[in-house]
């Protein structure tokens, strides 16, 4: 039963984690808009999410090393690290900076909206499960 709940929420968990990571990357691009020679970065959200969900199905875990026999054993799931790619600018800059503010703003707003949508969907699933449990 727990495995079914875990798999039901795994996709949303991975999607939220990757959306948060992408928001960090996009905000770093915006923050460096005036830095000479800065290269804008991003990652392919769709393929990274697919890889993260597949890795989750394989249940890769990372065990912790203990230094005392009295320590509790611990394990964590291996996280997905997105491969950052360089963005190709549509219009080159004199100082070598590839950040295009219009593109970054659109991507930032789109990613924020999709993050909120994922939260809304996850909230709906949790409410429906709670409703089923209470009946």
- Region 51-66 average pLDDT: 70
Each residue of 23-58: pLDDT tens digit? 999 999 999 999 999 999 999 999 998 888 888 755
User: What's the pTM value of the predicted model, to 2 decimals?
Assistant: 0.76
- Region 51-79 average pLDDT: 70
R_g (Cα) of the chain, nearest Å? 20
Contact 125, 12 (CB under 8 A): yes
**pLDDT at residue 22 is higher than 80:** yes
CB atoms within 10 A of CB 111: 21
Each residue of 76-115: pLDDT tens digit? 555 556 789 999 899 888 999 999 999 999 999 999 999 9
Reported confidence tier of residue 67, pLDDT bands at 50, 70, 90: confident
Residue 81: give the domain boundaries: 2-66+73-134
The 3-state secondary structure of the chain, one letter per residue: CHHHHHHHHHHHHHHHHHHHHHHHHHHHHHHCCCCCCCCCEECCHHHHHHHHHHHHHCCCEEECCCCCCCCCCCEEECCCCCCCEECCCCCCCCCCCCCCHHHHHHHHHHHHHHHHHHHHHHHHHHHHHHHHHHC
**pLDDT at residue 59 is higher than 60:** no
Q: In this predicted structure, what is the pLDDT of residue 100?
A: 95
Q: In this predicted structure, what is the pLDDT of residue 116?
A: 97
Q: In this predicted structure, what is the pLDDT of residue 61?
A: 58
**pLDDT at residue 21 is higher than 80:** yes
As for how many domains the chain has, the answer is 1
């Amino acid at each position: 039963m727990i495995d079914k709940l875990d798999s039901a929420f795994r996709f949303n968990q991975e999607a939220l984690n990757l959306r948060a990571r992408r928001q960090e990357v996009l905000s770093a691009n915006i923050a460096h808009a005036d830095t000479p020679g800065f290269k804008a970065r991003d990652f392919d959200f769709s393929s990274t999410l697919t890889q993260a969900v597949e890795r989750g199905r394989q249940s890769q875990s990372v065990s912790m090393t203990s230094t005392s026999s009295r320590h509790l054993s611990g394990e964590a799931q291996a996280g997905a690290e997105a491969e950052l790619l360089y963005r190709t600018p549509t219009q080159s800059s004199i100082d070598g900076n590839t950040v295009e503010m219009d593109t970054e703003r659109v991507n930032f707003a789109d990613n924020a909206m999709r993050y909120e949508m994922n939260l809304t969907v996850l909230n709906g699933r949790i409410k429906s499960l709670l409703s089923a449990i209470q009946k």
